[in-house]
Amino acid sequence: MQHFACIRLFFCRFFAMPSEFWSQCLNELKTEFSSELFHTWFADLTVDDTLLADDQLKIFASSAAKLSALKAAYSQKLSEIVNRVAGRAITLTWCVSKTPAVTLPIASSVEQDNKTSFPSAQIKSGLLPDLTFENFVQGKANQMAFAAALQVANSSGKPIYNPLIIYGGVGLGKTHLMHAIGHQFLKNNQSRRVLCISAQQYLEEFTGVMRLMNADPNRYFQALRDFENRYQNLDMLLIDDIQGFANRKG
């Protein structure tokens, strides 16, 4: 028992500073992923390692959306790196930091006490706060896409590229550029309305309305009006993973 107690004390001393252990983990992540992926997903993560001696580590992401994406795509790799740096198995707890989400008012023709598919007068923009032009990693492969995205984001009237479709392989920054467009557009036009969603989210909303056509005609017409208002009142609509629309009848 004393032997194990000494080992625990050794780790506590070795990682005495809260940032020291996590800095080593971040250095490992830099070697595992490209610079762009690292800065997009890992660079701004924060941790609470006060319970590291008890084999526990809390990881904080800037938003629920980013947290969900991180857990789905990188939780196993991150766990492997944390365990390797610690030299033992560490239990990870995923949390969302207290940074408030960006919300924008959306005009609605429906009274709030009238229950419909979209009862709220506000929706989240869906923009991840850390995906901006300032921290986007430029290279020869994405110079044209970056220039086009910046031009759309800074347009005050009708943009030259409408729609703008960004195409490329996995992990090359398509999602980052899309969110950056929204952030820059809102920075220049604070009263404008922006919504960033995935193709899957859009399809789920649309099919949810269509199911009411036969099931409940009265609710269907109201839900359809709400759906139209939700999107027609936007100044900018950003849709990720538009390949989800392929081969869809509608």
Q: What is the DSSP letter of 141?
A: G
Quickly tell me which residue has 């759309």 as its tokens.
Answer: 152
**pTM value?**
0.51
Task: Verify that 63 and 146 share a domain, yes or no.
Answer: no
Domain assignment of residue 125, given as a range:
103-245
Domain end residue (candidates: 58, 73, 96) = 96
From 96, 127, 147, the end of a domain falls on 96
Q: Which two structure tokens, joined as six digits, stand for 176? A: 């980052």
Q: Are 193 and 238 in contact (CB under 8 A)?
A: no
CATH number at residue 186: 3.40.50.300
Spell out a b/e string for 107-141, using b for 16 or more CB atoms within 10 Å of the CB, else e.
ebebeeeeebbbeeeebbbbbbbbbbbeebeeeee
Torsion of CA 12, 13, 15, 19, to 10 degrees: 110
pLDDT in 10s for each residue of the chain, 250 residues: 433 333 333 333 334 344 688 999 999 999 988 776 787 678 888 888 888 888 899 999 876 656 766 777 788 999 999 999 999 999 999 988 764 433 333 333 323 333 333 333 224 788 988 898 888 887 777 878 888 888 888 876 666 778 899 988 877 889 999 999 999 899 888 888 999 998 888 998 888 888 888 888 888 888 889 889 889 999 999 999 888 888 776 5
In the chain, how many domains are there? 2
CA distance 241 to 246: 10
Give the angle 93-95-101 at the CA atoms, nearest 5°.
170
